[in-house]
Amino acid sequence: MTIPAAPHRAPAYAERFRLAPTDLGRAVGALAVPAGWAVGGPVSASVMLLALGGLWALRYYARTPLEDAVGQTVILCAGWFSVVGAYATVAGLDLAVHVAAPLVLTRLAWDMLVVHRLAHPPLEGHPRLRAGSAIAAASLGTLLGVLWEIGEWAGHEFLTRDIGVGYRDTIGDLAATLLGASAGAVLATRPRHVPVSDSPQSDPSLSDPSLPGSPASGSPAPNTAP
């Protein structure tokens, strides 16, 4: 068999840009950048600018408007909590966000790879392929968490001592990130129904030689006729 290629764009919104109700969250994110500067200075503004990039990535890669809205809520809250210093005052909030944000970002990052044909789309009936994809997606999400922790350390060392770092904090954050990334990977690699009229054409370059009947396998497809 041939593994179907993913569509070039996610199906949440039309190809032609039109305003959607969920774009209100992106407007809030844009306003949060100068607001972050006013509340916490340039570092806080940078955090909200980074969050704004995530909001726009969701605009083009989220699978559904609901996923877009939920992802925006998580990313906006994660950024604004940093601006107002909520992580230092609310017990457990840091770990909760380190679960929720990687869940959203892992799913988003994997969908980006699938849309650009750098990863296989979820497939019905191929649990081993899905398991491998889930492991890769979880690793990708965890890598994003590691990069964030490096960024926190760099900010603490070179920008401001207000950024909390430490061995216990970092290990706890990474453990929470691994949990969130794993959950996001399971959701990202879960097969979803695609209507026949919207199904992409098969891409011969993505054929899997390990599957019987694929063009590169050299073995015929199993005979299912009665």
pLDDT along the chain (226 residues), means of 10: 49 76 96 97 95 96 94 98 94 96 97 91 80 95 96 90 86 96 95 49 48 50 49
Two structure tokens written together for 169:
């904090």
pLDDT for 165? 86
First to last CA, the chain: 20
For residue 4, is it within any domain? no
For residue 150, is it within any domain? yes
pLDDT for 108? 96
153, amino acid identity:
W
Strand partners, 202: 4
pTM recorded for the entire structure: 0.79
Two structure tokens written together for 84:
């107002």
pLDDT for 148? 95
181, amino acid identity:
A
pLDDT for 220? 54
pLDDT for 209? 53
For residue 204, is it within any domain? no
CB-CB neighbours of 217 under 10 Å: 15
pLDDT for 67? 94
pLDDT for 166? 87
For residue 225, is it within any domain? no
Two structure tokens written together for 105:
């970002």
* In contact, 136 and 184? CB cutoff 8 Å: no
Count the domains in the chain. 1
For residue 3, is it within any domain? no
Which domain covers residue 146, as residue numbers? 23-192
